[in-house]
Structure 1
Amino acid sequence: MAARNHSTASATSRTLDGPGVAAALEDEIITGGRFPGERLVEDQLIEKFGAKRYAVRQALTLLEKQGLVDRRPNAGAFVRSYTEKEVRDLYDLRILLEGECAQSIELPVSTSALAQLRSVQQNHDDAVAAMDLPQVLAANTAFHRTLFDLCPNRVLVEAVNRYAGMSHAMRSIAFTSPESLERSRREHHQMIESLESGNTYALTSLCRDHLLPSRDTYLRSAARRA
């Protein structure tokens, strides 16, 4: 996916507050519009978004807490980049958490829960068909949140969502090819089928294996940039 144009010509016509700037920057980061290690210059962000300096600084603080921005003393703010070990450690943890979360879902699930998940997945299907990458990412997140919300362990669900959010920028790189999008879409439907058939083993395996392509794609991309 081509990088977005960060020129002042794209500045918004209204003043954004801190959360608004954070949401706009998050969208750019997770859709590949800004690259790992890219410096985020306050003056440029102020002009681009028509925001006050305090709003930009608040946005950077919010994104730092989400793990998307790295703020360095006397250097500024940068789009977070990860070492190979950090990527592997994060995904190892996600595999454990999401596998446990899937295994904890009590099967069979209700017909209403299946209907809701199918409805959410339809949005993902439509976004993939249109190659609308921001909507693909949003629908993908909605699908997994809806799926894991079936787990009765709320602490585990919160942990799954937290660490999934930390890997948003990594996952976006895997969403740049039609083949990757189709694989993800197909696996979502297989997860729904596993829920419907009451196959905990298949669901757990799918949820774990589903994470590997985005991890490996990010590592290959990072190696090429090195």
Structure 2
Amino acid sequence: MSLVEQLEEEIVLGLRYPRERLVEDDLMRSFSAKRHVVRSALQELENRGLVERKPNVGAFVRAYTAKEVHDVYAVRELLEVHCAKLIPLPVEQSRLDRLTEIQRQHDRMVETNDLRGVVKTNMEFHHELFSLSDNTVLVDAIRRHAQMTYAIRSVTVTSPEYLHRSQQEHWEMIQALRRQDSDALAETCRAHLLPSRDAYLSRLTSLRGL
């Protein structure tokens, strides 16, 4: 796993929190990496929207204002709901079987509380789902905007309540595909975005009240 992937995973798991400073020397020691490797990783994470760098200050895990959260999730909704509606129905049985198997793996990760496995299989599920549209440009746009929200989604990734809701909604997506119900699939995709968005906004409100 590359340094970019390791830091990305730590952000989505909430091991590195919004506004946390990412000090080059600390990262070099923690990951036994050379400075140019650390700087390259931070540049890539900035490109992905996970890190922000300020001149003469350094790099930080990106934090979002309430407006930014609403804006990025509005874009995610447009992309993902539209992509769901583009999926040709009926879906080939082999592709539906593949999606179902990924979800079974995701279930096992949730049941064993393997959070790294949860994150990995969740990404695989959504990639496989949206790839059913056969629109690689749209799928890549969905992936990039999902990456931008890793720090936002870290609020819910360790919560059993949210993980079980995510499981249930994944199965609802599969059932909608089996029923060839494009509207139900699109609506479930829309609703699936709300918990992480709302949890992050709730945390912002709580912090302002301190």
Point out which structure has higher relative CO (alpha carbons under 8 A, 6+ apart).
2
Mind listing any 5+ residue stretches in structure 2 that lack a counterpart? none
Q: In the alignment, does 2:32 pair up with 1:45?
A: no
Aligned length: 208
TM-score by length of 2: 0.96
Single out whichever of 158-167 and 142-151 deviates more from structure 2. Answer: 158-167
TM-aligned CA deviation for residue 222 of structure 1: 2.5
TM-aligned CA deviation for residue 220 of structure 1: 1.2
Q: Indicate the percent of aligned positions where both proteins have the same amino acid.
A: 50
Q: Which amino acid aligns with 1:67?
A: G
Tell me which residue corresponds to 2:198.
216
Q: Which amino acid aligns with 2:51?
A: V
State how far apart, in whole Å, the 2-side matches of 1:193 and 1:187 are.
10
TM-aligned CA deviation for residue 74 of structure 1: 0.6
Contact 1:137–1:172, Cα closer than 8 Å, also in 2: no
Tell me which residue corresponds to 2:164.
182
Structure 1 outlier segments of 4+, above 6 Å: none
TM-aligned CA deviation for residue 165 of structure 1: 1.4
TM-score by length of 1: 0.89
State how far apart, in whole Å, the 2-side matches of 1:29 and 1:153 are.
28
State how far apart, in whole Å, the 2-side matches of 1:224 and 1:174 are.
16
State how far apart, in whole Å, the 1-side matches of 2:22 and 2:140 are.
29
Cα offsets for 1:107-150 (capped at 9, x unmatched): 11011011000111111101110111111111111100000000
State how far apart, in whole Å, the 1-side matches of 2:49 and 2:185 are.
28
C-alpha distance 61-173 of structure 1, shift in aligned 2 (>3 A): same
State how far apart, in whole Å, the 2-side matches of 1:27 and 1:114 are.
28
Q: Which amino acid aligns with 2:7?
A: L
Tell me which residue corresponds to 2:116.
134
Mind listing any 5+ residue stretches in structure 1 that lack a counterpart? 1-18
- CA RMSD across the alignment: 1.1
Tell me which residue corresponds to 1:98.
80
